Amino acid sequence: MSTLAAAVEVRGASKWFGAHKVLDEVDLTVCPGHVTVIIGPSGAGKSTLLRAINHLEKLDAGRVTVNGVLIGVREHGTRLKELSERAILAQRAEIGFVFQAFNLFPHLTVLENVAAAPVATGRATKTEARERALELLAQVGLAEKAEAYPGQLSGGQQQRVAIARALALRPGVVLFDEPTSALDPELVGEVLAAIRALAGGGTTLVIVTHEIGFAREAADRVVFMDAGRIVEEGPPGEVLDRPRHPRTREFLSKVL
């Protein structure tokens, strides 16, 4: 696959925290419209990889392109090429991010939370942003909560608002970092259903999760990471049901 055809392309991404190499020459290609699920033990570097894709974390080596646009580059032995803050912000608008902790603005209503970014970035008028926010809230099943405050919602509802908010700028790519890990078990299903509803809609999804059942059902590709590396990747039927690598088998035997 060529660089231009990939929604996200990571090449030779390395990152150290002190003496600890948390990303070790990671290569990852995500096809447009695909759902990619990243699994792996705690400390594998999954969050760091997502953060690097969104330019929240600077790489020490390697590069990331999103929709063919270079957003991070540093090659060994060459001068560090930095993007302007403006270019980074423009790229981030292309990428939605849903965190484990929903991080909604507590003093804003649900509708205002979803409409805030398009208004703040000048991409929509207040009226347009509110209309779009209502559509997105309907999409995640929360239209009737538009005027509520986050504190009045369950964790699952708050996370569905966070998903609607991540879609407000019409990003081509949405990254999810353990979107259901902070939820009570009975609330996990509604959030996974909201994510599943996005799949197939043309938006590219990259999801870090321990929900193996969800990965099996919703993923086009599953990526197993351990110790800063991608150990193996492929269709869910291969990686989850016929893993080649002993490390993958060991991990799956613990979480399945």
Binding partner of residue 48 among Mg ion, ligand ADP, none, CB cut-off 5 to 8 Å per kind:
ligand ADP
The residue whose two tokens read 């347009």 is 128
Separation between Cα atoms, residue 70 and residue 139, nearest integer Å? 31
In angstroms, what CA-CA distances link 242 with 87, 153, 212, 250? 42, 41, 14, 12
Site of tokens 């990686």: 239
Pick the binder of ligand ADP from 10, 28, 29, 45 (CB under 6 A): 45
Exposure string (b/e) for 148-179, b if CB count within 10 Å is 16 or more? ebbeebebbbbbbbbbbbbbbbebbbbbbbbb
3-state secondary structure of 201: coil
Nearer to ligand ADP, 112 or 226 (CB): 226
Question: Applying CB under 6 A, does 84 fall inside the site for ligand ADP?
Answer: no
**Residues β-bridged to residue 66:** 8, 69
Work out how close the CB of 226 gets to ligand ADP at its nearest, in angstroms, rounded to a whole number: 9
Tokens of 92: 């981030």
Q: Does 10 bind ligand ADP (CB under 6 A)?
A: no
Q: What is the footprint of ligand ADP within residues 24-43 (CB under 6 A)?
A: 40, 42-43
Spell out, one character per residue from 47 to 76, where the chain touches Mg ion: x when CB under 5 A holds, - when not.
Answer: x-----------------------------
34 vs 46, which CB is nearer to Mg ion? 46
Helices (H) and strands (E) counted in the chain, each on its own, are: 9, 10
234: which strand partners? Answer: 222
Determine if 255 is a binding residue for ligand ADP (CB under 6 A).
Answer: no
- d(C-alpha 79, C-alpha 43), whole Å: 30
Cβ atoms of 105 and 112 closer than 8 Å: yes
Minimum CB–partner distance for residue 53 and ligand ADP (Å): 12
Contact characters 10-49, Mg ion, x per CB under 5 A? ------------------------------------xx--
Which lies closer to ligand ADP via its Cβ, residue 48 or residue 91?
A: 48
| Contact call for residue 46 and ligand ADP (CB under 6 A) | yes
Q: Interface with Mg ion by CB under 5 A: which residues?
A: 46-47
Q: Residue numbers of the site for ligand ADP (CB under 6 A)?
A: 17, 22, 40, 42-48
